[in-house]
Structure 1
Amino acid sequence: MAKSITNFSTYSTLNCHKAKYAKPWNCFIFFRQSPITCLLSLNLDVPRSTKVGVYPMLDENAKICKFCEVGDLGNAVELLKMSQKSELDLNTYCSILQLCAEYKRLQEGKMVHSIIYSSGIPVEGVLGAKLVFMYVSCGDLREGRRIFDHIHSDKAFLWNLMMSQYAKISDYRESIYLFRKMQKLGIKGNSYTFSCILKCFAILGRIGECKKIHGYVYKLGFGSCNSVVNSLIAAYFKNGGVDSAHKLFDELGDRDVVSWNSMISGCVMNGFSHTALEFFIQMLMLRVAVDLATLVNALVACANIGSLSLGRAIHGHGVKTCFSREVMFNNTLLDMYSKCGDLTDAIQAFEKMGRTTVVSWTSLIAAYVREGLCDDAIRLFYEMESKGVIPDVYSMTSVLHACACSNSLDKGREVHNYFRRNNLSLSLPVSNALMDMYAKCGSMEEAYLVFSRIPVKDTVSWNIMIGGYSKNSLPNEALKLFVEMQEESRPDGFTMAGILPACGSLAALEIGRGIHGRILRNGYSSDLHVANALIDMYVKCGSLVHAQLLFDMIPEKDLITWTVMIAGYGMHGFGNEAIATFQKMRIAGIKPDEITFTSILYACSHSGLLNEGWEFFNSMISECNMKPELEHYACMVDLLARTGNLSKAYKFIETMPIKPDATIWGALLCGCRIHHDVDLAEKVAEHVFELEPENTGYYVLLANIYAEAKKWEEVKKLRERIGKRGLKKSPGCSWIEVQGKFTIFVSADTSHPQAERIASLLNNLRIKMKNEGYSPKMRYALINADDLEKETALCGHSEKLAMAFGILNLPPGRTIRVTKNLRVCGDCHEMAKFMSKTAKREIILRDSSRFHHFKDGFCSCRDFW
């Protein structure tokens, strides 16, 4: 009798999960028994009396079969080659083919096949099935399929074998093709057939087909078969049919451990980790024997909801039931402790592992990153490598994430060089992680170099680059890449959330509106990240009305939504509205964070709300138990300085518990310019120059203070100092968007085709202003010259040129939106007020500090900026 293989593994959530991470939500429960087991469990042995020849050679057949029974393939094959082929029976060939399959010996199997072929024995029936089984088991699916197609078998077990093998190599469509052909030929499937095909339909997302199979199997009487129902439950969970899966489970009378595992893993997969743990506890109460897959799934659920106490209990249960010896259990345990914030126990679990894998090391690396210990995570990566553990895609992306989180460009480069030196393959996920690291560390050139070398980019690749350009103040590059992306890939919600900040940076309202339309057409507006990005875009493009409308339409706002709106009101000079929004946020039960407080303090500063600003600053410390950071102190200094409390601001800086940086001293220096305090400005400037000696902006600011005070000799000395240091001033420029195209102006720009018309309009406006008693504010000319030259210089300021261009080129009544890279000067501010009244236009001017809304001769800032 040929030796039967009876130790094939049962299909479960555990052994069907091939990923290197213990994430059971990616797996399914399909079979209680594999199709191969089904094949072998049938009696395929041929009676000894069935012969190829007339006279039996019982001795030769018996000897070969005896060798097969004891597993001696070598002698069995040698004896087969020496025997008279015509005297061997089919059972002998089947026995030796069985052993070849069992030992995965393809070469010997091919030799047996060659002997069968040369002997002229028909390859059909049981012998054909054994040959198919041998080839498939030995990994030669192509030859197995060739024989399978030739023998035209009507046995379900052989079709199951082929379908399952195609499913194993992820060729689910071929499995489905065979199933369709099987139906067409009228071959009835069994429980293994339906379990396999449900897996294929589920993975391909064909929920409609799963429902059809559901009805079909019930008609055939498989509705009470656990393996089929378990596969149905897994299929529904895979495609989000949580209610259908629950209903099937409730109707299942004889539930086994796989049924319970299906429910636990399915709930975890669909984000119902609390429900998964309820099933786990119910399973324990009913005394259902748990297996390794049960505990792994339960640990993942604990990790997802941060249930450390239950995770520890499962750990104890695993130790008692000896599952703590399993690598998968230990890896999932380590991951659970890590995600629950218990780094100590995670390290302890790692150290107690009898055998560690790359998954173990990667989980610990990720644990260090979560705790902000990025340097330790990077060190651990190199330690892993020194132990001879070869990094995989997950460990490589984890260490790059550590470099990105620590903003360590040098270490990121070292890791990249390590990959090169060791010829580690840069798969798409690793390339994406590299780009993300470079982008977050501010090196978009290196990010683009990686991007350009990716042969086939996915949506993530494009999103990383577009988002990276936006966050690194390269909006033009982001928009250009967005256009290129649409030719090769379909943008998604993340793309929209990444490109909208670029529109906001450029104040590109028309482009932003176009993207908004695309968001609506593709159904991305329900994504809160996208909605928040839209509000922020409209705020920064000066369309506060649209931002408010979108804000009001969001049913459930998160902290970011509220903070964006508060900041928006602040930068537009509506401090009281910002405060009202902050109070509504508190009523809604949302707790502010450090960024929210920065936004509300900024709003108070730009609206001169001194008392309110102090209240928020104090409540941040006393009510919310937050330690103010440099940004919060900078807002308070700015608030004091803008309101004329320069001495108080100086004393406030001196009493700060943390060392002030250049931003804080710079805020006071701006206040000195507003209130023309030259003596204090000189004192404050020395602090600024000491902290940031290469920042040209602060030298220019002091030079402006001197120029406004007509201290031309000091201006000259300061400019000489700038020249000696080799510093260059950022040129002032303004731009305006007309019909989706940007026109940029610099001071005294005469190169524009409409330069004469613009100059004529500005001259006429200045004449009208003089006739109404307005005199130019000469101190803003910042040059040592006569009044005529100063007035000419003032007329050439870039924001005036852009506003005049808008009046000439935009339809009557259309709002003029201008953006300037520097702070608007006082004379341009007065001119903008006059323009809004004379031209009967609303003008929205965004400078480097805030927004100015000009209407009917008034500005929203109330001349406080």
Structure 2
Amino acid sequence: MSYAMGTATTTNFVAQPRHSRREISPGNQNGFISFKASSRIPIMPSNFNNSASIRASVLTDKTNKRVEVDCNAEICRFCELGNLRSAMDMLQNSKKSQLESSTYCSILQLCANHKSLQDGKKVHSVISSNSVDVNGLLGCKLVYMYVTCGDLREARRVFDGIPKEDVFLWSLLMNHYAKVGDFRESITLFKQMHHLGIDANSYSFSCVLKCFGALGSLVGGEQAHGYLLRLGFDSHNAVGNALISFYAKCKQIESADKVFEDLSDRDVISWNSIISGHVTNGISEEGLEIFREMQLLEVKMDLATMVSVLPACAEMGRLFLGRALHGYGIKACYGREITLNNTLVDMYSKCVCLDDAIRVFQTMNERSVVSWTSMMAGYAREGQLTSAIKLFHKMETEGVKPDLFTVTSILHACASNGSLEDGKNLHDHVRRNNLQPNLFVANALMDMYAKCGSMTDARLVFDEMIVRDIVSWNTMIGGYSKNCLPNDALNLFINMQSESKPNGVSMACVLPACSSLSALERGREIHGNVVRNGFSSDHHVNNSLVDMYVKCGALEVARLLFNMMPVKDLVSWTVMIAGYGMHGRGKDAIAVFNEMHRTGIKPDGISFIAILYACSHSGLVDEGWRFFNFMRNDCKIEPKLEHYACMVDLLARAGHLTKAYKFIGMMPIEPDSTVWGALLCGCRIHRDVKLAENVAERVFELEPENTGYYVLLANIYSEAEKWEEVKKLRERIGRKGLKKNPGCSWVEIKSKYHVFVSGDRSHPQTKRIQSFLEKVKTRMKEERHLPNKRYALINAGDMEKEEALCGHSEKLAMAFGILSLPPGKTIRVTKNLRVCGDCHEMAKFISNMVGREIILRDSNRFHHFEHGRCSCRGYW
């Protein structure tokens, strides 16, 4: 080999001393080494030039090599010591030629350990400026550093620009996408990896199954299951556990059970996954059975086992087992674990052991927002709303920031207790913290306002929402229906269909609005919508449909639909029983009740209210007593005020006023205005003025602001023609500033409602209506059906009373229906108050006169007028 000398002379070098090893610098191309003269070397004779220069070259090479080795070694040493600052300083002061790829990897690992994104980016900058190839291990380290430091976007950019044949790199990125909740992107990476022919490993399968489970994508998960079977990963414990969890999240618990049974090597995670799967799918009893099997096989439980089993104890009310697990947790030194304590607080509160829940909560050395929320939910569950609200404010003062679940939980508590003021205060907190844009919070606010009866506030929240989901629409529609605003509910349902497709809940929410209005035609349209969209199998929708047909007067259609229902729950039977009761068919109601009892469905308190109501409105006194005693003695249901009110109504309607009065005196609980009001109604029916006066004073003490009871007594006086007493009572009403709800009736013609009030002459068809009623009045006089003037309720002459009677709203609505509907069509009229006796008699006469069925629904019940008779038989 020849060496280029400073004198440009060349010579053949044959021998070298042992210490002068030659090193070729990586930066020196063509294999030449340059020697530089040093001032320290004395001038030697010319024949010594070659050997002296060579010795200098050797010394320089050795020094450079030592510096290079020392630089990489020193940085790695700093990395091993965790000294990121010194490592970074040395890196930035080093030359490009001095650094090895492994050194970059070491310092990137240290940046990841310290989660120092800033330093990691500096290292990446040095790598880029030094034109170092980023592939293999160095590429993996860069991606790892970025994902660990939280910069997933930059990690993906590096990932997309490097060769990636190693499954580890794909799994790494997939896992971090899953951690941040971007499950779809993780699945996309898995598919890309498969498309490139890179076989997945157990980690990537576990990750992608988790993603499919989180998204509820059963088909995608099943495809991944088939893929891993082909690669032979079904025997891997981690993959099996992931499959169990996936199927459980997709509500395929039978598939989860099969994977669990086929798993040869089960660890505690396998048992925890299958137990948790059963519990979260509402099969807590089976979850506890698996837990018992786990104990028999002596599989040692861990913290996750207890956290999975305790919710099952709460669900099943297994307080003894819950306490045993609590004791085990303490002995196993889990007593300070926050997840266990949170679950214990929830378990004790759901098992109606609020004191134990409080004790666990107070002894917790560390509390998370979950701890506070669980405790608040416990208070709310026991009806201690004030304590829940106080705890919420205490949590704020301790610096714990409430999460969305906390806010929605407290809002639901306010809704359940009807606490509008507390709900509004919480709404202020929501505004201050800018939480209202959150969809779940906005929906909870609307639900709270709706259940507290403030639909104006609910609508304000609804109108301010930027994004609405199906829950938002259903909450508002249901709120309008339950707050006696049926027209608003129907209008919003129409608006909804232009923005969102209704679901089964939407139908169940809007149908009560049709029921309230007796809007049969609109109800039929919604029924058609139900059939077209495949909601016919939804038993909640079916129950609402039966209720709608019942309350719209189509009792036979309701029964036909009831008979077709594949599954009948307690609500289904109760709706049908109440329906027969409303239509005065008490014996049919009793037959349905007995049929329900034979099928093994146990009646509850509401079912007994329905059957007692049916007996009352059909004059079935003995049967009513039998059901009342059956409820108390056989079903062990303690009667509530509603049941006592039904019994008083039963006796009073049948004319047993004194017996009803004594029954009230023997009640074990203090009677309320509803109980006394039932007796007052009986006094009107049987015109017992003296008892009415006594009963009315008791009612006025209990509900001094309820105008209805004052009006009822005034009507009793009017019918008895005690006009001076009527005057005094009306003056009393005026002094209190009370207002009577005006009586109104309406009839549906071609899906349009025509509303009439007493004495109304504003309708375009008024002349035709009055002419028809005059003809009816004339015919009634000819056939000696004289108007009952005591129902006129005014102190005037016979002529004025007759005119007043002719102007009653139900008569106007009936007349308009007969004039507007085609021959043979049933006339359906609804009134907001009780039908008056004279209108009742005229309706019977008109039904016979024109040969039409008239169905009149008043505030108490239905009246079916046909051939001059009424279905109520006088019990109304």
Fold shared, TM-score > 0.5 on shorter chain: yes
* One-letter amino acid matched to 2:598: I
Partner of 2:740: 729
User: What is the CA–CA distance in structure 2 between the aligned matches of 1:51 and 1:608, rounded to whole Å?
Assistant: 115
Greater displacement, 840-849 / 233-242: 233-242
Residue number among 341, 346, 362 corresponding to 2:373 in the alignment? 362
Deviations 1:7-35 (A, max 9, x none): xxxxxxxxxxxxxxxxxxxxxxxxxxxxx
Residue number among 313, 331, 336 corresponding to 1:320 in the alignment? 331
**Alignment pair present for 1:455 and 2:466:** yes
Partner of 1:431: 442
How many percent of aligned residue pairs carry the same amino acid? 63
Greater displacement, 702-711 / 563-572: 702-711
**Alignment pair present for 1:346 and 2:357:** yes
Partner of 1:235: 246
**Alignment pair present for 1:521 and 2:495:** no
Residue number among 526, 545, 551 corresponding to 2:556 in the alignment? 545
User: What is the CA–CA distance in structure 2 between the aligned matches of 1:351 and 1:729, rounded to whole Å?
Assistant: 54
Deviations 1:77-131 (A, max 9, x none): 1111112221211111111111111211111111111112222222223222222
Partner of 2:396: 385
User: What is the CA–CA distance in structure 1 between the aligned matches of 2:25 and 2:443, rounded to whole Å?
Assistant: 64
Greater displacement, 396-405 / 130-139: 396-405
Greater displacement, 134-143 / 648-657: 648-657
C-alpha contact (below 8 Å) 1:780/1:825 kept by paired residues: yes
Greater displacement, 531-540 / 381-390: 381-390
Q: Say which SS state the counterpart of residue 233 (structure 2) adopts.
A: coil
**Matches for 1:500-511 after TM superposition, within 5 Å:** 500-511=511-522
**Alignment pair present for 1:293 and 2:284:** no
- Rg bigger for which structure? 2
Residue number among 529, 551, 557 corresponding to 2:568 in the alignment? 557
Residue number among 189, 192, 202 corresponding to 2:200 in the alignment? 189
Shift of 1:277: 2.0
User: What is the CA–CA distance in structure 2 between the aligned matches of 1:488 and 1:92, rounded to whole Å?
Assistant: 59
* One-letter amino acid matched to 1:398: S
C-alpha contact (below 8 Å) 2:437/2:465 kept by paired residues: no
Partner of 1:143: 154
Shift of 1:742: 0.9
C-alpha contact (below 8 Å) 1:672/1:681 kept by paired residues: yes
Shift of 1:819: 0.2
Q: Say which SS state the counterpart of residue 743 (structure 1) adopts.
A: strand
* One-letter amino acid matched to 1:176: I
Shift of 1:66: 0.7
User: What is the CA–CA distance in structure 1 between the aligned matches of 2:769 and 2:668, rounded to whole Å?
Assistant: 52
**Alignment pair present for 1:88 and 2:77:** no
**Alignment pair present for 1:372 and 2:383:** yes
User: What is the CA–CA distance in structure 2 between the aligned matches of 1:707 and 1:652, rounded to whole Å?
Assistant: 28
Residue number among 788, 796, 806 corresponding to 2:807 in the alignment? 796
C-alpha contact (below 8 Å) 1:602/1:635 kept by paired residues: yes
C-alpha contact (below 8 Å) 2:435/2:441 kept by paired residues: no
**Alignment pair present for 1:534 and 2:513:** no
C-alpha contact (below 8 Å) 1:570/1:606 kept by paired residues: yes
Per the normalisation by structure 1, the TM-score is 0.90
With over 3 angstroms needed to count, the CA separation of the structure-2 counterparts of 1:785 and 1:393, relative to structure 1, is: same
C-alpha contact (below 8 Å) 1:51/1:87 kept by paired residues: no
With over 3 angstroms needed to count, the CA separation of the structure-2 counterparts of 1:823 and 1:151, relative to structure 1, is: same
Partner of 1:41: none
Partner of 2:61: none
With over 3 angstroms needed to count, the CA separation of the structure-2 counterparts of 1:861 and 1:229, relative to structure 1, is: same
Partner of 1:244: 255
User: What is the CA–CA distance in structure 1 between the aligned matches of 2:593 and 2:424, rounded to whole Å?
Assistant: 43
Q: Say which SS state the counterpart of residue 865 (structure 2) adopts.
A: strand
> Higher relative contact order by CA 8 Å / sep ≥ 6: 1 or 2?
1
C-alpha contact (below 8 Å) 1:732/1:747 kept by paired residues: yes
User: What is the CA–CA distance in structure 2 between the aligned matches of 1:690 and 1:325, rounded to whole Å?
Assistant: 56
Shift of 1:208: 2.1
Shift of 1:802: 1.1
With over 3 angstroms needed to count, the CA separation of the structure-2 counterparts of 1:736 and 1:72, relative to structure 1, is: same
Residue number among 281, 291, 306 corresponding to 1:280 in the alignment? 291
With over 3 angstroms needed to count, the CA separation of the structure-2 counterparts of 1:373 and 1:718, relative to structure 1, is: closer
**Alignment pair present for 1:333 and 2:337:** no
**Alignment pair present for 1:122 and 2:133:** yes
Shift of 1:61: 0.9
Residue number among 146, 151, 168 corresponding to 1:157 in the alignment? 168
Q: Say which SS state the counterpart of residue 524 (structure 1) adopts.
A: coil
Q: Say which SS state the counterpart of residue 223 (structure 1) adopts.
A: helix
With over 3 angstroms needed to count, the CA separation of the structure-2 counterparts of 1:480 and 1:121, relative to structure 1, is: same
Shift of 1:517: 2.1
Partner of 1:253: 264
User: What is the CA–CA distance in structure 2 between the aligned matches of 1:212 and 1:797, rounded to whole Å?
Assistant: 71
Shift of 1:148: 1.4
User: What is the CA–CA distance in structure 2 between the aligned matches of 1:697 and 1:220, rounded to whole Å?
Assistant: 78
C-alpha contact (below 8 Å) 2:851/2:867 kept by paired residues: yes
Shift of 1:141: 1.5
Residue number among 467, 478, 486 corresponding to 2:478 in the alignment? 467
Structure 2 alignment gaps of length 5 or more: 1-22, 29-63
User: What is the CA–CA distance in structure 2 between the aligned matches of 1:197 and 1:284, rounded to whole Å?
Assistant: 31
Partner of 2:505: 494
With over 3 angstroms needed to count, the CA separation of the structure-2 counterparts of 1:668 and 1:245, relative to structure 1, is: closer
Residue number among 762, 779, 782 corresponding to 2:793 in the alignment? 782
Per the normalisation by structure 2, the TM-score is 0.89
User: What is the CA–CA distance in structure 1 between the aligned matches of 2:532 and 2:70, rounded to whole Å?
Assistant: 79
With over 3 angstroms needed to count, the CA separation of the structure-2 counterparts of 1:806 and 1:390, relative to structure 1, is: same
**Alignment pair present for 1:398 and 2:409:** yes
User: What is the CA–CA distance in structure 1 between the aligned matches of 2:84 and 2:804, rounded to whole Å?
Assistant: 99
With over 3 angstroms needed to count, the CA separation of the structure-2 counterparts of 1:325 and 1:848, relative to structure 1, is: same
* One-letter amino acid matched to 1:501: P
* One-letter amino acid matched to 1:366: A
Residue number among 198, 206, 209 corresponding to 2:220 in the alignment? 209
User: What is the CA–CA distance in structure 2 between the aligned matches of 1:213 and 1:625, rounded to whole Å?
Assistant: 54
C-alpha contact (below 8 Å) 1:52/1:88 kept by paired residues: no
Deviations 1:727-771 (A, max 9, x none): 332211100112211111112222222222222222222222233
**Alignment pair present for 1:696 and 2:707:** yes
Shift of 1:254: 1.8
Shift of 1:860: 0.6
Partner of 2:784: 773
Partner of 2:680: 669
User: What is the CA–CA distance in structure 2 between the aligned matches of 1:58 and 1:761, rounded to whole Å?
Assistant: 115
Shift of 1:53: 5.1
Greater displacement, 640-649 / 157-166: 640-649
Deviations 1:469-505 (A, max 9, x none): 2212111122222222222223222222222211111
Partner of 2:116: 105
Greater displacement, 97-106 / 118-127: 118-127
Shift of 1:853: 0.9
With over 3 angstroms needed to count, the CA separation of the structure-2 counterparts of 1:147 and 1:827, relative to structure 1, is: same
Residue number among 849, 862, 865 corresponding to 2:873 in the alignment? 862
* One-letter amino acid matched to 2:643: H
With over 3 angstroms needed to count, the CA separation of the structure-2 counterparts of 1:835 and 1:177, relative to structure 1, is: same
Partner of 2:143: 132
C-alpha contact (below 8 Å) 1:52/1:89 kept by paired residues: no
Structure 1 alignment gaps of length 5 or more: 1-48
Residue number among 186, 211, 215 corresponding to 1:200 in the alignment? 211
C-alpha contact (below 8 Å) 2:437/2:466 kept by paired residues: no
Shift of 1:327: 0.9
Partner of 2:756: 745
With over 3 angstroms needed to count, the CA separation of the structure-2 counterparts of 1:172 and 1:792, relative to structure 1, is: same
C-alpha contact (below 8 Å) 1:53/1:87 kept by paired residues: no
Shift of 1:152: 2.6
Q: How many residues in Structure 1 have an aligned counterpart in Structure 2? A: 817
Q: Say which SS state the counterpart of residue 744 (structure 1) adopts.
A: strand
* One-letter amino acid matched to 1:494: V
Q: Say which SS state the counterpart of residue 747 (structure 2) adopts.
A: strand
With over 3 angstroms needed to count, the CA separation of the structure-2 counterparts of 1:206 and 1:389, relative to structure 1, is: closer
Greater displacement, 70-79 / 774-783: 774-783
User: What is the CA–CA distance in structure 2 between the aligned matches of 1:811 and 1:157, rounded to whole Å?
Assistant: 79
Partner of 1:31: none
